[in-house]
Amino acid sequence: MGSGGSGGSGSFGSRPWLVPNLLLFGRVLRAAGVHVHRERMVDAIHATEWVGVKSRADLRATLCALLVHRHDDLPLFNEAFDLFFRAHGASELHMPLFSLGERARVVTRRDAGAPHRLDVEEPSADPAAAAAFALGAYSTVEVSRTRDFADFTATELEGARRLLLRLRWEPGIRRTRRWERSLRGDIDMPRLLRKNVMRGGELIELPRRVRREAPRPIVLLADVSGSMDRYSRMLLAFASGLTRSARHVESFVFATRLTRVSRYVAATGGHRVVSRMVRDLHDWGGGTRIGEALRTFNTTWARRVMRHGPVVLIVSDGWDRGDPELLGRELARVRRRCSRLIWLNPLLGSASYEPLTRGMQAALAHIDDFLPAHNLKSIEDLAHHLRHGITQHL
Amino acid sequence: MSRAPLSLPASVDALQDALAGERYIAERGLAVPIYLALKLRRPLFLEGEAGVGKTEVAKVLAAALKTTLIRLQCYEGLDVSQAVYEWNYPRQLLEIRMIEVATDLDRTAVTRELFTEAFLVKRPLLRAIEETRERAPVLLIDEIDRADEEFEGYLLEFLSDFQVTIPELGTIRAAEPPIVIITSNRTREVHDALKRRCVYSWIPYPSFEKELRIVSSKVPGASERLAHQVTAFVQELRTADLYKAAGISETLDWAAALVALDRDVLDADVIHETLGILLKNQEDIDSIRGERVSTILARALA
């Protein structure tokens, strides 16, 4: 192999420690949660020969180019790399540096490395007020279908969770730009020729085509602040059910800041997911700043998840500690980019509830549907509404 | 026709020099992945925000390797007829009419000729394969994130065997794999199966030093002072909380505009007049206008 390059090269024979170290590094990466594929390890080993291992920057670039294929994994890679090749001069990587203790650190530091640690606010004042509203929200006569989630016992919660996971979701359809064959629609000229010319140019078949239709994506933005605490378990089951049933669902949770949880929610198993999420998000149960959360959504995520006219579901009681003006502005921006904006408010289940909070007032001007989400029936109604109500509206 | 094989750079340094020869500044973090993609003959997957110079990599690489650049711009609904080939049916229809007018022609023989290369419209992927008969081209598959998953599936197949089958003509194979560069603005996550085949590189916004070098080399009319100030301002602006940050091309356009206005130094007024070149989002422009321009300018000039 022609090699050379800045770092020089050599056969593996002269650096017997290199291959075991690289393999070990691959294992560190895997342990840290980076998906490393075996074939890529082989490439990486060859590549270190070509690029050389004299320069640490080159080694980093080489391994990164071959072992990482996701932007999200880059910080993890860099951290693992620094840790693994730490304390050794740029020139030589003598011996295995890896120990179990170091592996654990790679994993735990993933959270600690998060850009801003949360200052969790005292959630006492708001939820107390919220509870006063929500407590009157159920009628004791009915069975669990119309009973407020907040009042469920543990068994009922589990039952409701299972029901939510099974619910069918069809968030309306959109027309894609891809063609498909059909009995009606425009005449498919290229196919018309292919099919008929061989028969001497007589038009025997008249193939037609239409634009294919596809379900709309769903974007879920769920409030997990202190005042929503009693609903959060159901919210998660709702999100999981949605993710399993509809094809393109993106989920986010927010209190004071916004976190994408699509991957957590897609994972099966309810309780474990909750506990893992609560552990990973410092935010759970804090105060709410909806406007700021939406701002983050609009600046960093909207470009990536607001494609193809999605239906946006915001689940929140509207108890907002942030600036209502900001909330209104950012919500208007969300509305411009989606096909339908639905706000689900658990408090709306209460007959006496009125959206008086300043945040909720600011939001009302921009949302298409303002619906309750406090019991099973309201969630089923929502599914029905999406299935039948939306397609005509658009 | 004799094949002229590509001469690939012998080392990362040689590659950096070759790119520099095309006035493209590639630091190690980018040069190493490009080098590896060439060496392994795997597609290079470039990801990064819009306007960091991903497409430019393909252009300068083609120039540096002295080969052709074939570009496929992706969009939703992109299908085989736009990406690979399509029969030119208007011409085929005309041909049929001509056959009908002429009386003494053998109809079956002529209709069979309707499906020959003369009526074939070759799209970028097919052209890239055919081009390899002379010399491997650089095939740029731009903004893959705009295409839908169906196309991604097709591309996966295409990248594994570099051949195209046209039922009426047969299978066309590449003499050697073309040099493939795939870019993505990450408006959606491209499937892992595709990325796994590629050498991956994330291109960040350029550092101050790098952007200054780019401005100086691409906008020669700008004085050293102006280039410095423009770069500093844009760098500072990128840290502001905006919906859409300015890319390198915006920096270059802005610098060129200031040169056209005979400006040698930045001030708040001229920034206000030309802000639309730098930011393309009205809400961003509104939020920066006024006080914040002065603040950012002050920080940039500090």
pLDDT (mean) for A244-260: 84
Q: pLDDT, tens digit, for every residue of B227-255?
A: 999 999 999 999 988 888 899 999 999 99
Tokens (6 digits) for B280: 């393309």
Q: Binning pLDDT at 50, 70 and 90, where does residue A120 land?
A: very low
Q: Are A17 and A11 in contact (CB under 8 A)?
A: no
Per the document, the length of chain A is: 394
The predicted pLDDT at position A313 comes to 92
The predicted pLDDT at position A16 comes to 73
CB-based contacts of A105-109 (< 8 A; 24+ apart in sequence): A106/A28, A106/A31, A106/A32, A106/A76, A106/A79, A106/A80, A107/A31, A107/A32, A107/A33, A109/A79
- Nearest residue in chain B measured CA to CA from A197: B111
Closest Cβ opposite residue A61 in set B28, B39, B148: B28
| Cβ contact B13–A197 (<8 Å) | no
Q: pLDDT, tens digit, for every residue of A59-91?
A: 999 999 999 988 888 988 998 888 887 744 433
The predicted pLDDT at position A10 comes to 46
% of chain A surpassing 70 pLDDT: 72
Q: Binning pLDDT at 50, 70 and 90, where does residue B36 land?
A: very high
Q: Is A201 in CB contact (< 8 Å) with chain B?
A: yes
CA separation for the pair A93, A87 (Å, rounded): 10
The predicted pLDDT at position B110 comes to 67
Between A267 and A375, where is the model more confident? A375
User: For residue B33, which residues of chain A lie inside 8 Å, CB to CB?
Assistant: 61, 64-65
pLDDT at A361 over 50: yes
Strands B138-142 and B69-73: parallel
pLDDT (mean) for B245-268: 93
Q: Binning pLDDT at 50, 70 and 90, where does residue A353 land?
A: confident
The predicted pLDDT at position A177 comes to 83
Closest to A289 (Cα-Cα) out of A257, A245, A253: A257
| Cβ contact A189–B89 (<8 Å) | yes
Q: What are phi and psi of B173, to 5 degrees?
A: -110, 150
User: For residue B13, which residues of chain A lie inside 8 Å, CB to CB?
Assistant: 5-6
pLDDT at A321 over 90: no
Out of A276-285, A373-382, B79-88, B203-212, pick the least confident: A276-285
The predicted pLDDT at position A275 comes to 58
Q: pLDDT, tens digit, for every residue of B154-200?
A: 999 999 999 999 988 899 999 999 999 999 998 888 888 899 899 99
Angstrom CA distances, B225 to B39, B164, B222, B262, B295, stand at: 41, 53, 8, 13, 19
Q: Is A71 in CB contact (< 8 Å) with chain B?
A: yes
Q: pLDDT, tens digit, for every residue of B203-213?
A: 999 999 999 99
% of chain B surpassing 90 pLDDT: 68
Q: Is B200 in CB contact (< 8 Å) with chain A?
A: yes
CB-based contacts of A16: which residues, under 8 Å, 6+ apart?
A: none
Closest Cβ opposite residue B77 in set A4, A178, A299: A178
Q: Are A108 and A36 in contact (CB under 8 A)?
A: no
Q: Is A300 in CB contact (< 8 Å) with chain B?
A: no
pLDDT at A242 over 70: yes
Beta carbon pairs, A and B, within 8 Å? 127
Q: Is A115 in CB contact (< 8 Å) with chain B?
A: no
Out of A378-392, B62-76, B266-280, pick the least confident: A378-392
Q: Is A301 in CB contact (< 8 Å) with chain B?
A: no
- Nearest residue in chain B measured CA to CA from A211: B77
| Cβ contact B111–A198 (<8 Å) | yes
The ipTM of this complex is 0.84
Between A363 and A126, where is the model more confident? A363
CA separation for the pair A108, A126 (Å, rounded): 33
pLDDT (mean) for A360-374: 87
For chain B, how big is the Rg over CA atoms in Å? 24
∠ CA A44-A65-B159, rounded to 5° = 90
Q: Is B115 in CB contact (< 8 Å) with chain A?
A: yes
pLDDT (mean) for B296-301: 90
pLDDT (mean) for A173-181: 85
pLDDT (mean) for B216-223: 92
CA separation for the pair A276, A264 (Å, rounded): 8
Tokens (6 digits) for A237: 């089951």
CA separation for the pair A289, A116 (Å, rounded): 15
Tokens (6 digits) for B32: 């190493």
pLDDT at B120 over 90: yes
Between A278 and A98, where is the model more confident? A278
Q: Is A145 in CB contact (< 8 Å) with chain B?
A: no
Where are the alpha helices (H) located in A138-269, listed in sequence order?
154-166, 189-196, 229-245, 262-266
Angstrom CA distances, A253 to A72, A141, A201, A243, B138, stand at: 18, 33, 61, 14, 43
Q: Binning pLDDT at 50, 70 and 90, where does residue A377 land?
A: confident
Closest Cβ opposite residue B243 in set A5, A298, A304: A298
| Cβ contact B196–A69 (<8 Å) | yes
B69 beta partners: B138
The predicted pLDDT at position A143 comes to 34
Q: Is B109 in CB contact (< 8 Å) with chain A?
A: no
pLDDT (mean) for A139-145: 39
User: For residue A187, which residues of chain B lie inside 8 Å, CB to CB?
Assistant: none
CA separation for the pair A221, A253 (Å, rounded): 6
Mutate to test the interface with B, among A59, A69, A174, A306 (most CBs of B within 10 A): A69
Between A35 and B238, where is the model more confident? B238
| B23-56 exposure pattern, b = at least 16 Cβ within 10 A, e = fewer | ebbbebbbbbbbbbbbbbebbbbbbbbbbbbbbb
| Cβ contact B148–A47 (<8 Å) | no
∠ CA A166-A169-A170, rounded to 5° = 155
Tokens (6 digits) for A252: 């986010």
Q: Are B236 and B195 in contact (CB under 8 A)?
A: no
- Nearest residue in chain A measured CA to CA from B96: A201
Q: Is A364 in CB contact (< 8 Å) with chain B?
A: no
Q: What are phi and psi of A146, to 5 degrees?
A: -110, 10
For residue B246, the distance in angstroms to the closest alpha carbon of chain A comes to: 13
- Nearest residue in chain B measured CA to CA from A198: B111
The predicted pLDDT at position A12 comes to 55
pLDDT (mean) for A197-204: 67
User: For residue B198, which residues of chain A lie inside 8 Å, CB to CB?
Assistant: 69
Average pLDDT over chain A, rounded to an integer: 73
Tokens (6 digits) for B200: 């991956």
Please report how many Cα atoms fall inside a 13 Å half-sphere around the Cα of residue B291, on the Cβ side: 1
- Nearest residue in chain A measured CA to CA from B41: A43
Q: Binning pLDDT at 50, 70 and 90, where does residue A93 land?
A: very low
| Cβ contact A5–B10 (<8 Å) | yes
CB-based contacts of A53: which residues, under 8 Å, 6+ apart?
A: A7, A15, A18, A59, A92, A93
